[in-house]
Amino acid sequence: MEFTAEQIAGLLQGTVDGNPSASVKALAKIEEGSNGTLSFLSNPKYEEFIYTTGSSICIVNKTFQAARSLPSSLTLIRVEDAYACFAKLLELYNSINQKEPTIEQPSFIHETATIGKDPYIGAFAYVGKNVRLGNNVQIYPHVVLGDNVQIGDNTIIYAHVSIYADCIVGSRVIIHSGAVVGSDGFGFAPDENRVYQKIPQIGNVVIEDDVEIGANSTIDRATMGSTYIRKGVKIDNLCQIAHNVDVDEHTAMAAQVGIAGSAKIGKYVMIGGQTGIAGHLHIADETKIVAQSGISATIKKADTLMGSPAFNHNDYKRSYLGFRKLPYILTKIYEFEKQIKELTKNNTND
């Protein structure tokens, strides 16, 4: 679709500085802009690009003052917050490009399944017994929904996602391609011959509203009861959430985080990439964990943690300065030992 600067300014409650009839039909980074594209500038580090950009329209903060001449073909839209307004446009652009309601064939939908209004169900999708889909749900090709799965309104399940039987997914959830929800928890017990016997995993996974789960992440079903992903949680790609974990509201984790069984993660926790959290621990609300940290003990009070095993990040930085000086310190110790031996030898000879 094509939009003019005047139309965009109206949507964003901004003002046009330039040609109100300038039109765009695509979005682009400011450094890669071309004729007919829309960009934005909010970070001063990228200001140099606005003087050479090929974009037709650029969203800027009202306070922006050009240091030199702008391209004659560039129209500015001035707003209170360029970053937030561009994000709003991205959301609008994404909604325009959503799939039209349809059920593509071939796909399998069990006769006992309940489908809400205006669904999109892609080709080769599988919808099992007693599945319940809310309104405006989008199920992309090759998705598998096991028996008794429940999906809330306006949820999007991208291609090749598998949601095992009995799992519950809330409204406005986004699950990206390749994610697996409800796979068996890693439960085994050795018998008298030290052979591992599988412990049946009979629980489920409950994902509440407004959650986003990245591509190829896995969330294991509970041994008994439920594994919980609470409201507003954001999970990046390639994360592993083990059985009976409870991730509380509005927590976010970056790629390759691993959380072991029965850990309880608080609200508004931020977890950096490649962090590992041991099982049966509690992480306090609003804790921040730096990437590649290892959490091996319960965190009772909010802190910023770093290292493996992790501790306060300021203490870690001071400790690391000492660690980096260890080669120098060891060299000095060897020199002192040599001097002491020489002094001892001289005293003995005297």
Residue among 160, 176, 243, 250 flagged as catalytic:
243
Q: What are phi and psi of 100, to 5 degrees?
A: -70, 145
pLDDT tens digits in sequence order for the chain, 350 residues long: 789 999 999 999 999 999 999 999 999 999 999 999 999 999 999 999 999 999 999 999 999 999 999 999 999 999 999 999 999 988 887 777 778 999 999 999 999 999 999 999 999 999 999 999 999 999 999 999 999 999 999 999 999 999 999 999 999 999 999 999 999 999 999 999 999 999 999 999 999 999 999 999 999 999 999 999 999 999 999 999 999 999 999 999 999 999 999 999 999 999 999 999 999 999 999 999 999 999 999 999 999 999 988 888 888 888 878 778 888 888 888 888 888 888 887 776 66
Distance CA 66, CA 76 (A): 11
Residue 155: predicted pLDDT:
98
Contact indicator for 165, 128 with CB cutoff of 8 Å: yes
Identify the helix (H) or strand (E) that includes residue 219. Answer: strand 218-220
Residue 192: predicted pLDDT:
94
Identify the helix (H) or strand (E) that includes residue 41. Answer: strand 37-41
Distance CA 73, CA 57 (A): 8
Answering whether pTM is above 0.85, one says no
Contact indicator for 225, 243 with CB cutoff of 8 Å: no
Distance CA 235, CA 241 (A): 10
Name the amino acid, one letter, at 88. K
Q: Which residue has the tokens 């990040």?
A: 313
Q: How many CB atoms lie within 10 A of CB 202?
A: 12
Identify the helix (H) or strand (E) that includes residue 37. Answer: strand 37-41
Residue 347: predicted pLDDT:
74
Active site residue 243: yes
234's tokens: 């954001």
Residue 341: predicted pLDDT:
85
Residue 318: predicted pLDDT:
83
Partner residues linked to 219 by β-bridges: 181, 241
* Conformational region of residue 7, where left means phi above 0, alpha means psi within -120 to 50, and beta covers everything else: alpha
**What percent of the residues of the chain are helix, what percent strand, and what percent coil, each to the nearest 5?**
20, 30, 50
Contact indicator for 290, 308 with CB cutoff of 8 Å: no
Cα dihedral 257, 254, 298, 242, rounded to 10, equals -40
Burial 279-311 (b: 16+ CB within 10 A, else e): eebebbbbbbbbeebbbeeebeeebebbbeebe
Q: For residue 309, say if its preceding peptide bond is cis, omega within 30 degrees of 0.
A: yes
Pick the closest to residue 266 from 301, 242, 296, 238 (CA basis). Answer: 301
